[in-house]
Amino acid sequence: MLPNRASANSLSAPIRSSGGFRDSLDDKSKASVVQIKGMFSVTSENLDHVKGSPLRKSTSVGDWLLDSKQASTITAVTKSQKGRYHTSGLILVFMAEPISLPLQERISLKSNTRRVLSLTILFLFFSLLYFRICSLKEHGVTWLLAFLCESWFTFLWAINVSSNWNPVEYKTYPDRLLKRFQDLPPLDIFVTTADPVLEPPILTVNTVLSLLALDYPPNKLACYVSDDSASPITFYSLSESIKLAKLWIPYCKKYNVQVRAPFLYFSVHEPDSTSHPSSPEFVEEWKHMKTEYETLTKKVEEAVQNFTPLDLTGELATFSNATSENHPSIVKIIWENKEDFEDRVPHLIYVSREKQPTHPHHFKAGAMNVLTRVSGVMTNAPFMLNVDCDMFANNPNIVLHAMCLLLGHEKERDSAFVQCPQLFYGGLKDDPFGNQMVVWQGYLLHGVAGIQGPNYTGTGCFHRRKSIYGLSPDDVELGKNVNLDVAAKLDEETLRARFGYSMELTKSATQLIYEETAKSDFPDDLLGTLEASTEVANCSYEFNTQWGTKVGWVYGSATEDILTGQRIHAMGWSTVYCTPDPVPFLGCAPSAGPVIMVQQKRWATGLLEILFSKRNPIVACILGDLWFRQCFAYLWMNLWGLASIPELCYSILPAYSLLTDTPFMPKVSETATLVAAPLFILYNVYVMSEFLGCGLSINAWWNNRRMSMITATTGRLFGVLAIVIKLAGLSETVFEVTPKEQNATDDHNVDPDPGRFTFNDSPMFVPGTALVMVNIVALAMGLVSFKSLVWINHSGSGLLEIMCSTWVLVSFLPYVKGLYRKAIKHHKELQRRASSQDYGVGVTSQLECQRESDRIATKADLEQSLKDAVEHFKALATKKIARELKQQLEAITAAGRLLPDQPPATAPPDSAVTSLALDPEAAIHVGVSVFPIDVDETTEVVEEDRLPVEASKDLK
Ligand SMILES: O=c1ccn([C@@H]2O[C@H](COP(=O)(O)OP(=O)(O)O[C@H]3O[C@H](CO)[C@@H](O)[C@H](O)[C@H]3O)[C@@H](O)[C@H]2O)c(=O)[nH]1
Ligand SMILES: [Mn+2]
């Protein structure tokens, strides 16, 4: 039997059990002699006890191990207020557990009350439809529209009932895993980043540090960072971070740190003395680490702000000619773990795939495929974890938990991938933007976990390399019985067609497929694989291969995660949901209206791209091995964007009904109200109970509900439009990266009202605004004639319509408030401009006046007008304006100097001003470009380097 594992490779902390296994201690704490099993650290003063004890230092894991057949006893175990155990003596250990005990347990979460409630709601939905059909003839178009919308809602509810019928969760036993496997399997970790501005490198650094410090044998981990922007700053930041990693990792293991992303760990001003024995040594080390981290942060920030311009020589020379859209493949080994005992830092490899402007890159899916190939050549671990650059590891034992699920099923087919929930830190209270997705993950993912398994959500997922390589579970079974030499020869052609021409890659794939993976000499000589790994990162590598179709991440959708997960399910694999405590990964949720709308638009588009392709779940269900109920669950997701249309329609109906005096709801006196009213109440009670069940507040439910109405008129609706445009062949969809910011604390001091809804000038906000306006008018009209509607036996709209319209308006309240604030701001802006305080308005308004009166006819006129403007500015100028003005005027002159080379046919070739004079339109354009007047909330007034290019372009 394999020994139990103890954690912490230091000899200086008092003996204690690690947090990850604390649950096994709980009910045994009252006895003066207790049984403890799990991970232990050993203090120097206890070292002598260890010598004669069953504890020994592990060579493979690097920690303290205990022979599980023996036990010793201690007294004086104390439990601190926070539930931690301390002892001054040696540990008393555990009961031996037979090796046959399962590594994981599937627990049903089904609730009869919820089932009955959800069926009652379904019954009420059908009753309402029946009622509508019966009285369809007597009513107008509103009735028909209401019927169509409600049919849609009924359909979605039916899917919901099916998806949530038997929710499950998994309990994992990492301690048993450690007993069973002396040699744990290797894991390749992928982190993706795409833009150093939208995704600050310090975020990526934190994520990487948290992953390198995971409680898993460091020689079994390799971390690959994909940088789609080929940014020297990102590379530099990672190179610097490895210096910190050498201190941070031993520190975390020594003190059993739980949050291993330094920015969050050090967000407190004092060390947490309750979670660690506050020995002076600990406090000292804490302070030292904090200073080291701050030094790193400073270096990274300075590089970002270019205070220390990076010298693009040496290691950085590769980046000197690289732009994010055009550069060769860059693969750099930042750190190779050569199994040096002191430096237990896993491999860290930087990858920036080749980019060419003419070549499609498939966004994140393309990046993931390159990572899969590069890691295939370098380390070829049978499992791969992928996280987005903002998703740091929050549970140091997460790999052990995931391995319980990957290795603990009888057959590999039961766990193609292990998905962890995608949760966020520092989220705003009560989720004002409805984008923390807690309930979605708390209910729906547990629901599908009870069918074929959770879908892949793009981050926090452990993949089985075999399933990513496009193998079906049957192929895997077959692979086990094949002689490797024979197979390699037979399959060479097939392997090339599938994986591409790299011999190294096909060789590593063969090893993987035919189960020769457990390479004993891991880690490899990474340097020796550099050439091959750079080659597989080239953008032409995928030509005539199955990458992006049958192998790797699937191309063709902005939600590559859903599409890829679905392909895996359609191959017959099942998947597992992993929800240990503490939460495995945490990332940052976007805030502010416009950013969320753009994200939701991308999701809606991506999901519809799947629906309107030959890879849609219905086809996968008929032709592939996607289970019927799983297909429904996928449909529910795919339709999320499209659902915005009936939802929008249903939100307009009350207003339309009031304005045209045609009913869309039954009268209060009619029996059908006995269906509509309970349906409305029960539905909301059901959803509310899900929020309460996830530990959220009623406010959070309310915010999510109304945000889903708001996104139906903005992001999701525009996602539908984007797909229509794509299907019409007019444009391709793009992946707009969500901006991320590091926010370690809950205090949003900078912004007194961070949850407020903000707008920009995007057309995305037009439908919502129109909806609000129409409802206000309709409600006003409805209320004016309210008395007559209620008391007289009126056949038109009535009380229920008024209530529905009010409901819509109340739901849009944050939106209305945002609009109001925007209007006020706009008004103030106009006032400010009217009093000529804005330097830009001077020229622009003058030029506009001139256009109106068509007075620009001569060079002298225009020159005079510019001179006037300059005088005007001088009179106004503050220091900043004066400086910017000077730059702008220089830019005008520069634009002018461009002209002699490309003179317009009729223009005298000597100055830009002359040409402007001859072309009032160009003059206006330059005026507007130089002095932009359309200032929205997020735009800086001056865009300094824009002018020369634009001006010269327009002048041509
Ligand atoms: O060309 C690209 C675009 C994006 N990314 C990376 O993809 C990840 C996700 O991008 P993000 O802008 O954060 O998208 P989100 O909407 O927040 O992401 C969710 O939705 C995506 C699908 O739309 C999934 O891929 C993500 O994993 C999931 O977190 C980030 O690490 C990016 O750096 C790239 O590597 N290359
Ligand atoms: Mn993200």
Number of domains within the chain:
2
Q: Taking the CA of residue 728 as centre, how many other CA atoms within 13 Å lie in the half-sphere pointing to its CB?
A: 8
Q: Is the pLDDT of residue 512 over 70?
A: yes
Number of H helices, E strands in the chain: 36, 20
- Among 195, 386, 388, the mutation site with the greatest number of ligand 1 atoms within 8 A of its Cβ is 388
Does 362 map to a domain? yes
Tell which atom from ligand 1 comes closest to the C-alpha of 603: 23
Does 559 map to a domain? no
Average pLDDT for 371-379: 96
Containing structural domain, residue 480: 189-393+464-554
Q: Is the pLDDT of residue 725 over 70?
A: yes
Crossing angle (nearest 10°) for helices 560-570 and 363-378: 60
Q: Is the pLDDT of residue 394 over 70?
A: yes
Does 217 map to a domain? yes
Average pLDDT for 524-536: 90
- Answer yes or no: do 650 and 772 share one domain: yes
Which residue minimizes the CA distance to atom 26 of ligand 1?
A: 458
Q: DSSP class of residue 946?
A: G
What's the pLDDT tens digit per position in 830-845?
887 776 544 444 444 4
CB contact burial 334-371 (16+ within 10 A = b; e otherwise)? bbbbeeeeeebbbbbbbbbbbbeeebebbbbbbbbbbb
In 3D, which of 254, 261, 247, 249 has the Cα closest to residue 281? Answer: 254
Last residue of a domain, one of 870, 891, 912: 891
- Answer yes or no: do 159 and 234 share one domain: no
Which residue minimizes the CA distance to atom 10 of ligand 1?
A: 737
Does 861 show up as a binding residue in the annotation? Answer: no
Question: Any alpha helices (H) in 514-627, and if so which ranges?
Answer: 530-535, 560-570, 593-611, 617-623
Which residue minimizes the CA distance to atom 24 of ligand 1?
A: 458
- pLDDT for 399 equals 98
Which residue minimizes the CA distance to atom 1 of ligand 1?
A: 363
Average pLDDT for 241-249: 95
Q: Is the pLDDT of residue 240 over 90?
A: yes
Average pLDDT for 313-339: 88
Consecutive H or E run containing 676: helix 673-693
- pLDDT for 223 equals 98
The secondary structure of 822-872 as a DSSP string is HHHHHHHHHHHHHTT--HHHHHHHHHHHHHHHT---SHHHHHHHHHHHHHH
Question: Any alpha helices (H) in 29-111, and if so which ranges?
Answer: 47-51
Where is pLDDT greater, at 781 or 292? 292
pLDDT tier at 858, thresholds 50, 70, 90: very low
Does 56 map to a domain? no
Per-residue tokens: 182: 């002396």
Mean pLDDT comparison of 479-483, 485-489, 827-831, 929-933, highest-scoring range: 827-831
What's the pLDDT tens digit per position in 535-563?
999 999 999 999 999 999 999 999 999 99
How far, in Å, from the CA of 558 to the mean position of ligand 1? 9
- Answer yes or no: do 212 and 351 share one domain: yes
What's the pLDDT tens digit per position in 411-459?
999 999 999 999 999 888 888 888 888 999 889 999 999 999 999 999 9
Last residue of a domain, one of 554, 575, 599: 554
Does 228 show up as a binding residue in the annotation? Answer: yes
How far, in Å, from the CA of 388 to the mean position of ligand 1? 6
How far, in Å, from the CA of 732 to the mean position of ligand 1? 18
- Answer yes or no: do 229 and 370 share one domain: yes
Where is pLDDT greater, at 31 or 50? 50
Mean pLDDT comparison of 653-657, 664-668, 790-794, highest-scoring range: 653-657
Q: Is the pLDDT of residue 868 over 70?
A: no
- Answer yes or no: do 441 and 493 share one domain: no
In 3D, which of 639, 601, 941, 940 has the Cα closest to residue 762? Answer: 601
Q: Is the pLDDT of residue 884 over 80?
A: no
Among 80-84, 380-384, 568-572, 951-955, whose mean pLDDT is lowest?
Answer: 951-955
Query: Could you tell me if the CB of 459 is within 6 A of ligand 1?
Result: yes
- pLDDT for 281 equals 85
pLDDT tier at 921, thresholds 50, 70, 90: very low
Report the share of the chain in percent with pLDDT over 70.
71
Average pLDDT for 902-927: 37
Q: Is the pLDDT of residue 31 over 80?
A: no
Distance between CA 685 and CA 39 in Å, rounded?
A: 44
Distance between CA 70 and CA 91 in Å, rounded?
A: 12
Does 26 map to a domain? no
- Answer yes or no: do 332 and 468 share one domain: yes
Q: Is the pLDDT of residue 694 over 90?
A: yes
In 3D, which of 359, 727, 365, 361 has the Cα closest to residue 559? Answer: 365
Among 230-239, 320-329, 713-722, 874-883, whose mean pLDDT is lowest?
Answer: 874-883
Last residue of a domain, one of 891, 914, 936: 891
Average pLDDT for 251-265: 93
pLDDT tier at 748, thresholds 50, 70, 90: very low
| Burial classification of residue 207, based on how many CB atoms lie within 10 Å of its CB (0-12 exposed, 13-18 middle, 19 or more buried) | buried
- Answer yes or no: do 519 and 658 share one domain: no
- pLDDT for 744 equals 59
Distance between CA 822 and CA 775 in Å, rounded?
A: 20
Q: Is the pLDDT of residue 625 over 60?
A: yes
- Answer yes or no: do 340 and 451 share one domain: no
- pLDDT for 69 equals 37
- Answer yes or no: do 112 and 232 share one domain: no
Please provide the average confidence, as pLDDT, over all residues in the chain: 78
Per-residue tokens: 388: 């987005």
Distance between CA 549 and CA 20 in Å, rounded?
A: 39
Question: Any alpha helices (H) in 15-72, and if so which ranges?
Answer: 47-51
Among 373-377, 460-464, 706-710, whose mean pLDDT is lowest?
Answer: 706-710
- Answer yes or no: do 652 and 793 share one domain: yes
Distance between CA 126 and CA 120 in Å, rounded?
A: 10
- pLDDT for 861 equals 54
Q: Is the pLDDT of residue 392 over 60?
A: yes
How far, in Å, from the CA of 389 to the mean position of ligand 1? 9
Where is pLDDT greater, at 588 or 2? 588
722-730 long-range Cβ contacts below 8 angstroms, 24+ apart: 722/601, 722/604, 722/605, 723/604, 723/605, 723/608, 723/609, 723/612, 723/641, 726/605, 726/609, 727/612
Distance between CA 818 and CA 822 in Å, rounded?
A: 6
- Answer yes or no: do 448 and 485 share one domain: no
In 3D, which of 233, 231, 178, 209 has the Cα closest to residue 67? Answer: 178
Q: Taking the CA of residue 355 as centre, how many other CA atoms within 13 Å lie in the half-sphere pointing to its CB?
A: 23
ipTM for the complex?
A: 0.98
Ligand positioned closest to the Cα atom of 201: 1
- pLDDT for 14 equals 29
Does 702 map to a domain? yes
Does 388 show up as a binding residue in the annotation? Answer: yes
Does 669 map to a domain? yes
- Answer yes or no: do 444 and 388 share one domain: no
Where is pLDDT greater, at 373 or 742? 373
Does 579 map to a domain? no
Q: Is the pLDDT of residue 570 over 60?
A: yes
Query: Could you tell me if the CB of 387 is within 6 A of ligand 1?
Result: no
Does 364 show up as a binding residue in the annotation? Answer: yes
